[in-house]
Structures are given as C-alpha cells and as structure tokens.
C-alpha cells in the first residue's frame, strides 16, 4: 500500500475517534430529553462544522460550498427538475475539485513535499464524494415524492422560517457522525431518527458500536502484521512470472483489511450516535427504511462470484449506484454504472481502467456461472467448481483493486504487462465464447 493512502486512512481514523465522545453525548442527551428537535439539529450541524475545520482546514470550504449550493438547488427547483439539477451541480463541483487535486499531485507535485496536503485535501474530497451520495439520494427521494421540502412559492415567509425549514436538510448533509464516512442513510430515516424523542439510551447499540470499534482495531493490528510479511507493491517492477501474482494478491489483501477496518470504525461512530436505533415501524413509519451497513467481511472473502463480491463491497454505495445509475439507464446499465463510478472516484487512469475492467468481469461472471453452474452436477464437480471459481474471483478482484489504487501510468503499465493479466483475460475469453455461443 502506498504511503499516501495509508496516511489518509490513519488521519481519517484519528478524527473519527475524536468524534466518538460527542456522538455518545448526543445519544445520551437525546435519550434523556434534554434537547429539543432544533437543538438536536444544531448540535449535529455545529459538530459537523468543527470536524470539517479540524480535519480539512481551509479545504472545508469546498464542502461548505457544495452543501449550500445543493441546498439552494433543492429549495428552489421543482420536484421534476430537482434531481437533474442537483446531480449536475454536485458532480460538476466534485469534478473540478478532483481536477484541482490531480493538478497539485501530478503537475505541481505538492503531495510529496506537503504532509498537510497528503491528508487534508483528500479527506475533503472523500467527504465531498459522500456529500454527492446524500445530495443525489435526497434529490431522487424528492423526485419520487418520498420527501417533501418547502416550495419556491413560499417566498413571503419570514427569513427565520426559511432558516428553520433548511436546518434539517443542511444538518443531513453536514452532520458529524456521517461527515467522514459511514453507510448512506436516507433523509427521511435521518429525520425520523432526530425527531424521535421517546427512545431510551440504548446500551445494546453502544455495545454494538464497541464491538465494531474493537473489530476495526483488531483488523488494523492484523493489517500491520500482514504488511510486515508481504511484498511491497513497488516490487511489481522487479518481480518475474507468477511471483507478480503473489505481490498483487498480498497487496490487495492489505488494501481490503484497511477498508474493512475503516468501514467498521465508521459504522461504530454511526451506531454510537444512535443512528442505528430501531425506531419501530408502528411508532415511526419512516424507520421502515433500514440502514444498510457497508461491512460484510464473511461474504466478501468467501464468495466465488465476482458479481456477488461487487454487490457486497461497500454495500450502501453499491445500492446507491444501482438506484442512481443502473435503474435509470436504458442502454448498457452495467457499463454506465461502472463508468460513472470511475467518474465519481476521480477519473485517474487506474480508476478508469479498473472500473471498466470490473464491468467486463461482472458481465463475464454472470454468463460463466449461468453456464457452468448448470454443468456441474455431482458433489465433487460442484466442490471443484466452487474452489476454482473462488480462486479466480480472488485473483481478479485483486487485479482490479490494485489497478484502481494505482496512481501512476507507469505502475499501471507494469500491472498490465505482468502475469496478473492472465486471469482477467480468461474471463474475457469466456465472455466472448459464451456470447458467440
């Protein structure tokens, strides 16, 4: 794992840990009834401002500009146009910010000489990507009449009235428990959670948060041990033949452990603030919209299908992409989804290649398992089929993950010219044969 990525995850984890006492305090104050509804929104919003300033410094302005621009669009556009305008404004701003990061990293080469740039600007862009999820999810909810906001015709109301109407929306975009990470929560689920005043302080929820926090710590320690024994990704330049396969697979394992640890910590903060509280469908109908947690390590590490891995990897984001792009596309929805994912992640060469390769692998995986699953009849055949496809899935996923994380074209070329490319080529060959058949 390159040191910039490692430094980014460690810095984000420190700020998430610093937010824990405030999340628990908020949960306790809400349960004790000491905070009014507007006070709860204000607590979360002020906490978001403070966390953004601490973690991002002056780059927090990028996030605030995005939040208030999206808020203006949502409050002014009609339900039929709000999704289109919100998507356009948010993705345009996020793309400009990503281009600014690429300019600083590759042209000015500031990242290597400026430690603050190594994590402050990337943290701001990571939070901006999460902001895009919230904005587009909310805009789709408004478009589908699941959420109603104040209409533009209500202009004669007082300024304070407009401010109070905008407070829940602004808090949803900038609240501190989900500012730097965490599963995507819909606006009406978030609103129901803040407004529900009769829920007691949940020791079970706090215990679940503690378990996830301990899990994150354990995986972080395990990752440190793994990094001590694996070959560095830079060894891809000097490795030969199938030695390169071990280098890529072991580096991808370290990446996966890092992501698992990061997601578990995000979910721990999410639960500590009370966001995972089961409000009950009868007491609060909006709570029927369940929050999907991102981390399902068992499924990710045991699945023998690339499609199954794709649906489970960062699960709430996968469902968001499915709703935003896949279900809205009339032509080639799978390719459109992965192309947008590359755009959303920042359009580095490795990301463009990695996500487009991922789309091809998923399509090949669908066809391959549909064909071979019907051929393997006996118990031994099915065991062999599952073992071979699990190994193939592990190696293809490692190839894609390393490609996406590559920051230089030269390193990407080293990956493409190594023996690791054999496994995606097998999938492409199978796809071509099955399509022809």
The answer to whether 298 and 306 have CB atoms below 8 angstroms apart is: no
Whole-number Å distance between alpha carbons of 187 and 202: 22
Give 3-state DSSP helix, strand, coil % of the chain, rounded to 5.
Answer: 75, 0, 25
Active site residues: 314, 345
Whole-number Å distance between alpha carbons of 416 and 399: 9
**CA-based torsion, 383, 384, 390, 391: positive or negative:** positive
For 132, the token pair is 């895009």
Whole-number Å distance between alpha carbons of 365 and 361: 6
Angle at which helices 333-345 and 115-143 pack, to 10 degrees?
140
Cα–Cα–Cα angle for 389, 2, 261, rounded to 5 degrees: 65
Greatest alpha-carbon span in the chain: 74
- From 237, 231, 233, select the one nearest 418 (Cα to Cα): 237
Q: Measured between alpha carbons, how far is residue 58 from residues 4, 116, 117, 200 in Å?
A: 20, 11, 11, 38
In a 13 Å sphere around the CA of 432, the CA atoms on its Cβ side amount to: 6
* Residue 100 three-state SS: helix
DSSP state of 163: H
Give counts: helices (H), strands (E), the chain. 17, 0
The answer to whether 289 and 305 have CB atoms below 8 angstroms apart is: no
Whole-number Å distance between alpha carbons of 204 and 373: 42
Whole-number Å distance between alpha carbons of 426 and 396: 10
Whole-number Å distance between alpha carbons of 99 and 108: 12
Whole-number Å distance between alpha carbons of 46 and 58: 17
């Amino acid at each position: 794992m390159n040191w910039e990525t490692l430094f980014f995850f460690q810095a984000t984890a420190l700020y998430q840990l610093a937010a824990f006492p405030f999340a628990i305090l908020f949960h306790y104050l809400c349960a004790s009834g000491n905070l009014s509804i507007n006070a709860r929104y204000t607590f979360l919003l002020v906490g978001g401002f403070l966390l953004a300033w601490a973690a991002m410094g002056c780059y927090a302005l990028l996030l605030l500009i995005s939040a208030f621009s999206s808020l203006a669009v949502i409050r002014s556009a009609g339900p039929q146009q709000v999704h289109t305008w919100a998507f356009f404004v948010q993705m345009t701003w996020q793309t400009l910010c990503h281009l600014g990061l690429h300019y600083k990293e590759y042209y000015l080469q500031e990242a290597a000489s400026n430690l603050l740039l190594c994590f402050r600007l990337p943290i701001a862009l990571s939070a901006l990507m999460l902001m895009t999820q919230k904005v587009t999810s909310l805009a789709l909810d408004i478009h589908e009449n699941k959420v109603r906001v104040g209409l533009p015709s209500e202009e004669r109301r007082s300024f304070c009235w407009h401010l109070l109407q905008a407070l829940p929306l602004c808090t949803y975009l900038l609240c501190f428990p989900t500012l730097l990470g965490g599963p995507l929560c819909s606006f009406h689920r978030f609103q129901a959670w803040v407004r529900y005043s009769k829920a007691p302080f949940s020791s079970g929820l706090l215990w679940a948060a503690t378990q996830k926090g301990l899990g994150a710590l354990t995986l972080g320690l395990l990752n440190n041990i793994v990094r001590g024994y694996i070959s560095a990704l830079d060894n891809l330049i000097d490795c030969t033949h199938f030695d390169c396969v071990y280098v890529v697979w072991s580096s991808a394992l370290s990446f996966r452990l890092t992501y698992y640890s990061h997601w578990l910590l995000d979910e721990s903060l999410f639960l500590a603030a009370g966001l995972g509280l089961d409000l009950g469908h009868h007491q609060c109908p909006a709570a029927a919209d369940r929050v999907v947690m991102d981390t399902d390590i068992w499924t990710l590490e045991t699945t023998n299908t690339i499609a199954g891995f794709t649906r489970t990897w960062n699960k709430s984001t996968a469902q968001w992409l499915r709703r935003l792009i896949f279900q809205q596309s009339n032509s080639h929805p799978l390719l459109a989804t992965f192309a947008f994912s590359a755009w959303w992640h920042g359009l580095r060469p490795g990301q463009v290649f990695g996500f487009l390769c991922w789309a091809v692998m998923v399509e090949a995986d669908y066809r391959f398992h549909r064909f071979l699953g019907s051929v393997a009849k006996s118990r031994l055949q099915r065991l062999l089929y599952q073992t071979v496809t699990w190994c193939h899935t592990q190696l293809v996923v490692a190839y894609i993950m390393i490609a996406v994380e590559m920051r230089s074209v030269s390193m990407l070329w080293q990956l493409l010219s190594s023996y690791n490319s054999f496994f995606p080529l097998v999938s492409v060959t199978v796809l071509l044969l099955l399509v022809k058949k």
